[in-house]
Amino acid sequence: MNAYKDLMKYLNEGETVEAIVFGEWGYGWYGFGDNDEPIPADKQGVVLSEEEAKPLMDGWSFFGGFGSPTSHAVNIWTNKRVIWVTQYDGSTTLDSAPRHPTAYMPDMPGG
Length, in residues, of the chain: 111
Task: Specify the DSSP class assigned to residue 5.
Answer: H
- pLDDT given at position 33: 47
Mean pLDDT within 23-49? 79
- 53-64 pLDDT per residue, tens: 999 999 999 998
Helix, strand or coil for residue 85? strand
Backbone angles phi, psi at 53, to 5 degrees: -80, -35
- In this structure, are strands 91-98 and 17-25 parallel, antiparallel, or unpaired? unpaired
Confidence of residue 9 (pLDDT cuts 50, 70, 90): very high
- 62-92 pLDDT per residue, tens: 998 887 788 899 999 999 999 999 988 878 8
pLDDT over 70 at 35, yes or no? no
